[in-house]
Amino acid sequence: MTTATLPEPLTTLPESAALPGQQPAWGVALLYPSQGQWSKYDYLDLPGIRLVEFDNGRIEVLPMPSIRHQNVSMNIAVPLRIYVQTYELGTVLCAPMPLLVAHLRFREPDVIFTRSTAPDDSDGDKYLASAELVIEIISEGPENRKRDLVDKRADYAAASIPEYWLVDPESQEVTVLRLQGSEYVESRTFGIQDVIQSTTVPGFEMPVAKIFAK
């Protein structure tokens, strides 16, 4: 029996990547403002569908979601949107869709339910100004977890959003936070055998198993 010979591991860059001029197009970056000098309109006019958040003149480009992340997002958004449309409760949207959470601060929730989609007079329909339910799917990595568990929790509470779901694909759990006064209180963490009931979308229920179904 013969043994297949494995290829040598790659130790150098491909020839195409080593050619002169194979550098990022830094000149394009110079077309945009420096960090700290972005305006609300610079941010809202960004082209493309990248996930970008804005905070008082600074932007943060978020990591692109994985296939698992997208599956979980669709498993939530599709039935929620159908339910909301059936009963004419408002609308359900998915990222990328900027949500104004404070003066000169925008976040990008994974899924948003809002009763009002009336656009801002000066900015058309480029962002949402309010929401009743926001849902974040926690991405891998300590920085991403902190953004969802700490930073966004504070921002959504400050924006008086009544309900916040934290969806964790690693543990296959969903923690539901409900606003009491100016802070969120953890209502309950739902496991794979449980069914979530939303208080801001009357009558809507979702089995956790369906959220994490492949």
Q: What CATH number has the domain bearing residue 179?
A: 3.90.1570.10
The answer as to whether 29 is a domain residue is no
CA distance 19 to 16: 6
Query: Is residue 188 one of the residues assigned to a domain?
Result: yes
Tell whether 175 is covered by a domain: yes
Q: Is the pLDDT of residue 21 over 50?
A: yes
- Count up the domains in the chain and report the number: 1
pLDDT digits 0-9 by tens, 81-110: 999 999 999 999 999 999 999 999 999 999
The CA radius of gyration of the chain, in Å to the nearest whole number, is 21
DSSP string, 143-192: HHHHIIIIIHHHHHHHTT-SEEEEEETTTTEEEEEEEETTEEEEEEEE-T
Q: Which domain holds residue 116?
A: 67-96+109-211
Pairing of strands 58-61, 91-94: unpaired
**C-alpha span between 109 and 102 (Å, rounded):** 14
Read off the pTM.
Answer: 0.82
User: 53 in a domain, yes or no?
Assistant: no
Residue 151 lies in a domain: yes
The answer to whether residue 74 is domain-embedded is: yes
Q: φ, ψ for residue 114 (rounded to 5)?
A: -135, 145
Q: Would you say residue 39 lies in a domain?
A: no
pLDDT tens for 159-185 read 999 999 999 999 999 999 999 999 999
The confidence score (pLDDT) of residue 14 equals 46
Q: CA 196 → CA 37, 73, 93, 182, 193, distances in Å?
A: 42, 15, 19, 23, 10
Examine residue 158 and state whether it is found in any structural domain, yes or no: yes
Q: How confident is the model at residue 63 (pLDDT cuts 50, 70, 90)?
A: confident
